[in-house]
């Protein structure tokens, strides 16, 4: 059994702080879900894979770096609006040379789901960016996450841009997952995106592995998406074999703030998320 952080509530705050820390998991994976385009399924895929990971007993943390906070709302529901401690405070700490820094562990919240924790986003992240960038803080997230103990899997959700937050995430992670929505414009953008990831790999993070492209909202009966995906495969892009279907249930799952594994465990899309999760785990074990 892995050692795990025992968490306690600090007075008057809903933040969790570590009471006893276990050993850092040597097998901890840190996965970034990235695509410069919005609406391709980054937050949906981040939260659903993280929820499966947690449901299977892995101690899992979601880091929501998107100021829009969609993952934060998905995992916390209305509670997301009342948080007194978010990633904005984490980055404030980084900018303020605190003598007694809380570190990343000080900004982690429980979710209603066992084994699933969250570092929540905040809208003010947007305006913090300039300061963080001008003071070269791009490596701080990696350092902070590396010092976290007791987690088996980290999932980082990112904003739809190549900016300070996405660069920090790509530097911190060892796996990169790229959702793709079968749109022809997104297809053109994939090449630029892969080149950007490769540049960060070369310059800053040689541990980073592109796990693959997740085909999302794939309409198997429509000709165009089939053609687009086949062409990408012919061009030897790393298309993962588990595709995700379109389903209205995902929106309902967002509305109820319950990832699919909890909201509708027998649904086809849930099975597809599980198949995707298994594909990624097999690959992780194979390369470990
Ligand atoms: N497989 C799917 N089927 C139906 N709707 C989906 C699917 N995946 C994502 N969506 C919807 O598409 C929208 C964008 O998804 P989201 O995960 O927020 O994308 P991103 O984080 O890349 O902006 C959301 O409204 C979400 O509910
Ligand atoms: Mg998002």
* CATH number, position 151: 3.40.50.300
d(CA 109, CA 49): 18
Task: Check whether 12 has a pLDDT greater than 70.
Answer: no
From the number of C-beta atoms within 10 Å of its C-beta (0-12, 13-18, 19+), residue 202 rates as exposed
Which numbered atom of ligand 1 lies nearest the CA of 216? 1
Domain assignment of residue 271, yes or no: no
Find the domain containing 120 and state its range.
Answer: 28-212
In a domain, 278, yes or no: no
When divided into structural domains, the chain yields a total of 1
Residue 49 included in any domain: yes
97 Cα to the center of ligand 1, angstroms = 38
Q: What is the pLDDT of residue 63?
A: 98
Phi/psi at 117 (5° precision): -115, 165
What distance in Å separates the CA atoms of residue 77 and residue 262, rounded to the nearest whole number? 14
Of ligand 1's listed atoms, the one at least distance from the Cα of 37 is 22
Q: What is the pTM of this model?
A: 0.91
Distances (CA, A) of 34 to 43, 77, 165, 166, 266: 9, 23, 11, 7, 28
Residue 2 in any domain: the answer is no
**286 occurs within a structural domain:** no
Contacts 24+ apart (CB under 8 A), 104-107: 104/144, 104/145, 104/147, 104/148, 105/5, 105/16, 105/17, 105/18, 105/21, 105/148, 105/149, 106/15, 106/17, 107/15
Nearest CA to ligand 1 atom 25: 251
Q: Is residue 166 part of a domain?
A: yes
pLDDT (0 to 100) of residue 222 = 92
pLDDT reading at 285 higher than 70: no
Whether 107 is covered by a domain: the verdict is yes
Residue 204 falls inside a structural domain: yes
70 lines ligand 1 (CB under 6 A): yes
- Between the CA of 204 and the centroid of ligand 1 the distance, in Å, is 30
Residues 6+ away with beta carbon under 8 Å from 195: none
Confidence of residue 7 (pLDDT cuts 50, 70, 90): very low
Whether pLDDT at 110 is above 90: yes
Cβ neighbors of 84 (< 8 A, separation 6 or more) are 13, 14, 15
Eight-state DSSP code of residue 158: -
Give the number of the ligand closest to the Cα of residue 39.
1
Q: Which listed ligand is nearest to 35 at the C-alpha?
A: 1
What CA–CA distance (Å, rounded) separates 210 from 144? 22
Per-residue pLDDT band for 186 (boundaries 50, 70, 90) equals confident
37 CA to centre of ligand 2 in angstroms:
10
Identify the residue whose C-alpha is closest to ligand 1 atom 26.
251
Asked if 39 contacts 82 with a C-beta cutoff of 8 angstroms, the reply is no
């Amino acid at each position: 059994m892995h050692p795990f952080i025992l968490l306690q509530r600090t007075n008057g705050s809903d933040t969790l702080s570590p009471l006893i820390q276990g050993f850092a998991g040597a097998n901890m994976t840190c996965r970034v879900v990235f695509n410069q385009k919005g609406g391709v399924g980054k937050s949906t895929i981040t939260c659903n894979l993280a929820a499966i990971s947690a449901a299977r007993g892995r101690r899992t943390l979601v880091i929501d770096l998107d100021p829009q906070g969609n993952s934060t709302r998905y995992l916390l529901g209305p509670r997301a609006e009342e948080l007194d401690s978010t990633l904005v405070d984490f980055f404030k700490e980084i900018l303020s040379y605190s003598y007694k820094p809380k570190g990343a562990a000080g900004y982690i919240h429980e979710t209603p789901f066992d084994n699933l924790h969250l570092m929540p986003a905040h809208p003010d992240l947007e305006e913090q960016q300039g300061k963080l960038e001008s003071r070269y803080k791009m490596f701080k997230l990696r350092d902070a996450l590396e010092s976290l103990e007791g987690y088996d899997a980290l999932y980082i959700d990112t904003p739809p841009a190549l900016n300070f937050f996405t660069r920090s995430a790509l530097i911190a992670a060892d796996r990169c997952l790229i959702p793709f929505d079968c749109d022809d414009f997104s297809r053109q953008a994939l090449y630029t995106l892969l080149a950007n990831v490769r540049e960060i790999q070369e310059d800053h993070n040689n541990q980073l592995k592109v796990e693959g492209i997740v085909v999302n909202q794939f309409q198997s009966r429509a000709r165009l998406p089939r053609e687009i995906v086949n062409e990408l495969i012919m061009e030897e892009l790393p298309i993962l074999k588990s595709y995700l279907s379109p389903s209205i249930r995902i929106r309902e799952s967002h509305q109820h703030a319950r990832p699919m594994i909890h909201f509708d465990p027998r649904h086809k899309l849930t099975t597809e998320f599980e198949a995707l999760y298994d594909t990624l785990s097999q690959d992780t074990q194979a390369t470990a």
